[in-house]
Structure 1
Amino acid sequence: MRDSVLFDEFYTASVRRISGYVYAMTGDAAETEDVVQEAYGRAWQHWEQVSGYANPEAWLRTVAYRIRISRWRRAAAGFKAHRRHGAAQDLPELSVDYVALIAALRAIPANQCRAIVLYYLVGLSIEEIAQETGVAAGTVKSQLSRARTRLAVLLTDSDGRPGQPQFFAKEASSRA
């Protein structure tokens, strides 16, 4: 059985030194936090064995070093692959309409957004949406109605014509 009190004492006594060690290797506070957290997680998983070592902190430093090197190698391999192959060429450009629709969907309440996406993009019926979301069919109808009303406003330009969203119309008028 793992002794959480002993582990807590070990953590408290060593975390500053381990963090300083890892930060000196990485120079990045966020990376340091991730590596140290993962190293202590592994120490806890193997605490029965690690606590018996003459120097558990040395074991932890070794683990942290290996985690850091592993992360560095993965990142380096990713950069190398990107240099070799470049960016993906088959990705289509996002249309202005698509970007406007996604921005408008983000601007409505989550339950309305989910209902609209399930109904229009996934193609579920009102009954299927009700079953999947755990709400009554009448609630789904209400969510769809409110979402359509709100989206109509968001996806209408300042002249009242459907098309360009109001937030793009304001940006265009400020450039003129």
Structure 2
Amino acid sequence: MTEEEFDVFYATSYPRVVVQIHALCGNWAEAQDCTQEAFVRAWDRRAQLVRSDYPEAWVRTVAHRLAISRWRKARRAFRQPDRAVEHHQSPQPNPDRVLLERALSQLPEEQRRAIVLFHLCDMGVQDIATELDCPVGTVKARLARGRAALAGIIGDDAEQDDPNRLDPHATRPPAGA
């Protein structure tokens, strides 16, 4: 279907389809929106529509389905929330995770990426090298430097928060134990 043929198809079919969809959904603006969207989708399928015996029926079906979908969304908006699907408030972040994220943010980008890929994504050194497009030795160096920097950062932060936190010989147990 050429552009000119589609224009003729649109001009002749649009008024009929919009009236039919209006009769189905009862809202003129909604019928116009759904019909317009159906014709936009038809434009992308011009090659299939030209082989179809009833391209207007295809557009009408798509517009009808769009109207039903919008109606369902509107109905869901007025329903009482289902307690079984309610979103529960997520627990407070773990202090160790906050500490780790803060420490990771202080690393250079290359080291942070290598650390995250290796320790959090469980990727091997070779896989990381392939993904980062760098030699295996470079990945190993970034991991070593990143770990050393993390140990320094986390050690300093942990001592400021709780001096006995990392001491295995501390007389009192760490918080939460």
Q: Same fold (TM over 0.5)?
A: no
- Larger Cα Rg: Structure 1 or Structure 2? 2
Q: TM-score range by the shorter chain?
A: 0.3 to 0.5
The two structures have a TM-score, normalised by structure 1, of 0.45
The two structures have a TM-score, normalised by structure 2, of 0.45
